[in-house]
Structure 1
Amino acid sequence: MKTENSMQVYLRLLKYVKKYWPAFLVSVVGFAIYAASQTASAKWLEAFIDAVESGQLDQRAMLALAVLGIFFIRGVGTFLGNYGLSYVARYVVHNLRIDLFRHLMLLPSSYYHQNSSGELLAKLTYNVEQVTGAATNALKIAIREGFTVIGLFGYMLYLNWKLTLLFLVVGPVVGVVVGIAARRMRGLSRHVQQSVGDITSSASEAIKGFQVVRIFGATRAETDRFIKVSQHNRRQVMKMVVTQSVTTPMVQMMVAGVIALMTFLAMDPDLIREMSTGQFIAFISAAALMAKPVRSLTEISSMIQQGLAASESVFEVVDTEPEKDIGTYEVERADGALTFKNLSFNYEADGKPILNNISVDIKSGETIALVGKSGSGKSTLAGLLPRFYDATEGEIFLDGHNLQDYTLENLRNQIALVNQQVILFNGTIAENIAYGGMADCSREMIEVAAEAAHVTEFVQQLPDGLDTLVGENGMLLSGGQRQRIAIARAILKDAPILILDEATSALDTESERHIQDALENVMQGRTTLVIAHRLSTIENADRILVMDSGQIIEQGNHSELLQRGGVYANLYKLQFSETTAEPVASQSTDQEQNL
């Protein structure tokens, strides 16, 4: 990713503001009115003192009305400025957050493996809000206080240009101080944003895994871990506070020094004679009024640096290359014939190969079972079909066309997937079955899919039936119930290719038998890849591929592999002996109890 300097980042950020230039223009006009009222206040003071000194007391009505007028105008300017810029600010946050989320939906799987969900959530929430500091809040202060300084400075030049030029002396010194503070603030802002991501990750893991935390006595350990990251965040924020708290008084003292010198020189008898009493008091008042806007202008530096640091983290995600989708070929419904040709894959360029030179042909409608010990590459091989990852070497063909030739959307339309770790979304059971592109499916189709996946069996016992809310990630349902919903989702999709990754692992024996019957009906006429550890569930597969260390070491149907007496036969005998040993042990226990 290319590296951008501060100005490039800021200009890129201001493009989000540019879309709402009418509202921004309204805020500029409002703040200009506000600044004019500040200068008018100094002018009013001059007129008031001169009127009192000269005895023109008949002007009291006009001066009194002028006070109301000045504050009314200031109120109008403040409203227009604040509302206009707040309108822009919230749209900037909204659009930036949408762009970030939309891009997150397009990023490759590898990005999610390399970045924690807590860090990404922090970017979507905290970092995007910080961006408004640079995009709008800093502009608000710069425009409002900038106009105020210009108005007061111009009025002071009009009254006495010699004294006013003293302000120009302190300008470069203030610039140096602010520049040093700005560089430190930006670095600290990056650390603060990173620490917020750490807090989110720590809290998210502990909250999601609260049962594991408690059963293994890790409550104190997780609390200590959270305290540690929160403490780190506190220290980083305090460093920012110290930097800003030191910078602001230094600038104020410089401005105060100029005002003090100006006051001393202004009381020189020769200079006093050049101004009326009203002008003299108005000049000193205008100089004093400049202290606050000058201080505010120095504080926007820290705001801008926080916003720029946040912008960099957001744009870093937005600039990350999305999934490669250069294919143009599309088909309404594929036949489902698959060919893996000299296929190799590894997650890192210099890492250990996960798949090594695999070649296999799968006919349309064939059911292929993948078995082997954990880490043998079964799930990785299946995950290459929807192109969650692209092969490091070799090719995969669907109906004779390279997967790279298909558009990603069209390719994934041909595939239904049931994972071992079922993902449900916070909605109703029906909404989770008819998820995504199936949202327009009729109620009747949803009910048929639910019946086929044996979802109806437990749904009938729920008060709201298919309209029952499942909670976050289906936490209100059992593991078996969640898995049945995932199977119903795959049935409803009716895709020509079906991937079942431990699809019945969370089911009890009785439910598994029902689901197995349903799956066998669903698999008819579809190319199916079944990943299973329970070998009893794949005995009817057309072909079984036994994998080890990323290679296919045996293949054939259940009977052939048993007769061969190889790895599969040994695995089957091992599992069969374990399952038959359980009732024997149970029987012995019963006999002991009877004795």
Structure 2
Amino acid sequence: MAGPARFLAGQGVGEKSADFAGSTRRLLGRLRPQRAILTVAGLLAVVNVGLNVAGPRLLGHATDLVLSGVFSRNVPAGTSQQDAVAALRASGHGTQADLLSSLHITPGTGMDFDAIGRVLLWVAVLYLVAGAAGVIQARMTTRAIQRAVSELRTDVQHKLARLPARYFDGQPRGEVLSRVTNDIDNLGQTLQQSIAQLVVSILSITGVLSMMFWISWELALVAVVTVPVSVIVATRVGKLAQPQFVAQWRLTGRLNAHIEEMYTGHNLVRAFGRQEESAQIFREYNEQLYAASWRAQSISGLMQPAMMFIGNVNYVLVAVIGALRVASGSLSIGDVQAFIQYSRQFSQPMTQLASMANLLQSGIASAERVFELLDVDEQTPDPVRPAVVVAPRGRVAFEHVGFRYKPDKPLIDDLSLVAEPGHTIAIVGPTGAGKTTLINLLLRFYDVTSGRITLDGVDIATMSRDGLRAQIGMVLQDTWLFGGTIAENIAYGSAGATQEQVVAAAKAAHVDRFVRTLPAGYDTVLDDEGTGVSAGEKQLITIARAFLVEPLILVLDEATSSVDTRTEVLIQQAMSTLRAGRTAFVIAHRLSTIRDADTILVMEDGAIVEQGDHESLLDVGGAYARLYRSQFAEAVAEI
């Protein structure tokens, strides 16, 4: 299938809502802290609706006064109303007689303009007060909703900080961003546009229906007959539309994830000539999103015209039956006029509720995605009374450590090693051997599956994560800079660092030499991509950041991979100074950079297959020697 046929087929995107009712209750529960403001807003809504409902009744009374004045002027003075009615019946004008009998006239007089004026003045006052109450109610509702959405954003932000690294490893960043931005924005818009209108519509239906039964229960029953039909239509359309809204926002997240990936790796995409493939994937995702959105809006769009049709049928029935009741003298023209207005007021909120259906369903679909994020299992909480290393020295011990990303696929099994204080431990091995995983376990980005890791004899699982990581400085192969000055980037991990300390760390990491060449020096502003500095210079800035922290334990994951050979020599000298007296873990592929390490660990398939210093491992002629010779052969080939 292709084109529209493929769109209509759905491509498996018509998932059902996970729990529409439960998500709605949970969403309303988010408004509970704002109940004081919402209660006042609800009272103002009652005032607004009550006064608006009273308006047509007063206008109907004014109509009766005008009509009574017309008849009073045409009936001779001294003639009673009963005599005038009897005379009309005798002359064969039964309809006019019935109409006259329903009025209160004073023969020989005209219109009572004072009474009519008083009624119209009351109507004007009612509508002015109702309008003021409506404005204040809308402002209070807006404030309450925006506070609730703000608190939701805060909760999501805190949730992201408590999620384990495992979650982010398994989720596209664009998908997470879509939940945090698009879905919360859509949810806020839904609450803003629907909550107040929903309350007003329900109050309007209740108030109008009461007035209709007060005026004529027979006509009220005619109007009420259409309610079950409206409910059935709304329910059927809603059930059909909701899965499409769920699909719409799921596909929005997938499309955002693809866009984020392609723009993050824009240069790489162009370098490998994959623009057309990327554009083709975008088109496919975009077409699927178009199809889901088209179905959702098309189905939910049926609601409003259907409700309008039902409302028009109701209006015709009320007008015809009301005219017959006036002709029979059972109702006055003013009552029928008021009833017709109430009939319109009755169908209007019903139509509004129907028109809000697609908005509500879209908002609940977004709410489900946000709540799904909030319900993700968090990382193991820190102990209530975390252990503290009293006299930190930097001794790290892995004791029979086992770890696996997936339960059925072990990665590290029964690994033991000891890093003595002040020693440099180099970790080498092929890609996927578990080198970076070892560091992630040390930093508790992941928790061990079995065994334990200790810092100066204290199990790191009994320490707080902040307390543990405060002892560790880390420089990664992938540099990370944020939007800000170079000085702010260097001082990122050292709150309260002075300018002199920043400059000293920059000099130690050989950052100062190129910063001085920039027009604004340390005040040069970088964006989050580090535009304006080279990849090697970004690496140097992150190394300066580690210098400034002065950690007890230093972790270097290919920290010199982005610098030239001359700079690498300078960095190695600086690292030797930085490592003095500190325990250091160095992950390296270029074995020439770790020749002076106290201990070199060779890892394969999550296990340490060799360990020793550079010379002893070469003498053994094992895995390390093979790696070293292969790199030497590559260097000779390059020359």
TM-score bin (small chain): over 0.9
Structure 1 residue 384: Cα displacement: 0.8
Q: CA RMSD in A?
A: 2.1
Matches within 5 A, 1:446-457: 446-457=502-513
Which residue pairs with 2:354 in the alignment?
A: 298
Cα separation, partners in 2 of 1:373 and 1:161, compared to 1, 3 Å: same
Count of matched residue pairs: 579
Which residue pairs with 2:149 in the alignment?
A: 93
Which residue pairs with 1:343 in the alignment?
A: 401
Q: Match of 1:297, SS?
A: helix
Equivalent in 231, 241, 244 of residue 297 of structure 2: 241
Partners of 1:265 and 1:68 in 2: CA distance: 30
Gaps of at least 5 residues in structure 2 are 1-16, 70-110
Residues 40-95 of structure 1: CA distance to partner in whole angstroms, max 9, x if unpaired? 33124313312221222513543554454344224313311221111122112211
Equivalent in 315, 323, 328 of residue 259 of structure 1: 315
Equivalent in 2, 22, 39 of residue 36 of structure 2: 22
Which residue pairs with 2:456 in the alignment?
A: 399
Equivalent in 415, 428, 432 of residue 358 of structure 1: 415
Matches within 5 A, 1:162-241: 162-241=218-297
Partners of 1:37 and 1:148 in 2: CA distance: 10
Structure 1 residue 235: Cα displacement: 1.7
Residue 430 (structure 2) pairs with residue 416 (structure 1): no
Matches within 5 A, 1:380-391: 380-391=437-448
Residues 129-159 of structure 1: CA distance to partner in whole angstroms, max 9, x if unpaired? 2323564533212211122222222221111
**Cα contact 1:190–1:310 (8 A) shared by 2:** yes
Matches within 5 A, 1:3-18: 5-18=19-32
**Cα contact 2:156–2:374 (8 A) shared by 1:** yes
Which residue pairs with 1:563 in the alignment?
A: 619
Structure 1 residue 271: Cα displacement: 6.9
Equivalent in 25, 34, 38 of residue 52 of structure 2: 38
Cα separation, partners in 2 of 1:524 and 1:145, compared to 1, 3 Å: same
Cα separation, partners in 2 of 1:249 and 1:389, compared to 1, 3 Å: same
Worse-superposed segment, 147-156 or 35-44:
35-44
Equivalent in 600, 603, 619 of residue 544 of structure 1: 600
Structure 1 residue 379: Cα displacement: 1.0
The one-letter code of the counterpart of 2:547 is I
Structure 1 residue 318: Cα displacement: 1.2
Partners of 2:600 and 2:498 in 1: CA distance: 37
Matches within 5 A, 1:304-323: 304-323=360-379
The one-letter code of the counterpart of 1:196 is T
Structure 1 residue 5: Cα displacement: 4.2
Residue 428 (structure 2) pairs with residue 371 (structure 1): yes
**Cα contact 2:483–2:527 (8 A) shared by 1:** yes
**Cα contact 2:59–2:120 (8 A) shared by 1:** no
**Cα contact 1:340–1:397 (8 A) shared by 2:** yes
Cα separation, partners in 2 of 1:272 and 1:23, compared to 1, 3 Å: farther
Cα separation, partners in 2 of 1:233 and 1:332, compared to 1, 3 Å: farther
Partners of 1:302 and 1:320 in 2: CA distance: 28
Alignment identity in percent?
Answer: 32
Partners of 1:581 and 1:294 in 2: CA distance: 80
Partners of 1:73 and 1:198 in 2: CA distance: 49
Q: Match of 2:30, SS?
A: helix
**Cα contact 1:372–1:533 (8 A) shared by 2:** yes
Which residue pairs with 1:487 in the alignment?
A: 543
Q: Larger C-alpha radius of gyration, 1 or 2?
A: 2
Which residue pairs with 2:11 in the alignment?
A: none
Gaps of at least 5 residues in structure 1 are 584-595
**Cα contact 2:434–2:603 (8 A) shared by 1:** yes
Residues 334-382 of structure 1: CA distance to partner in whole angstroms, max 9, x if unpaired? 321111122222211112x322321112211110101111111111111
**Cα contact 1:365–1:528 (8 A) shared by 2:** yes
Partners of 1:113 and 1:490 in 2: CA distance: 25
Q: Match of 2:442, SS?
A: coil
Which residue pairs with 1:588 in the alignment?
A: none
Q: Match of 2:581, SS?
A: coil
**Cα contact 1:562–1:569 (8 A) shared by 2:** yes
**Cα contact 1:29–1:77 (8 A) shared by 2:** no
Cα separation, partners in 2 of 1:333 and 1:422, compared to 1, 3 Å: farther
Residue 542 (structure 2) pairs with residue 528 (structure 1): no
Cα separation, partners in 2 of 1:466 and 1:67, compared to 1, 3 Å: same
Partners of 1:271 and 1:495 in 2: CA distance: 95
Cα separation, partners in 2 of 1:111 and 1:393, compared to 1, 3 Å: same
**Cα contact 2:325–2:331 (8 A) shared by 1:** no
**Cα contact 2:554–2:582 (8 A) shared by 1:** yes
**Cα contact 2:474–2:556 (8 A) shared by 1:** yes
Partners of 1:172 and 1:213 in 2: CA distance: 57
Equivalent in 113, 122, 143 of residue 58 of structure 1: 113
Q: Match of 1:441, SS?
A: coil
Partners of 1:411 and 1:83 in 2: CA distance: 48
Q: Match of 1:350, SS?
A: coil
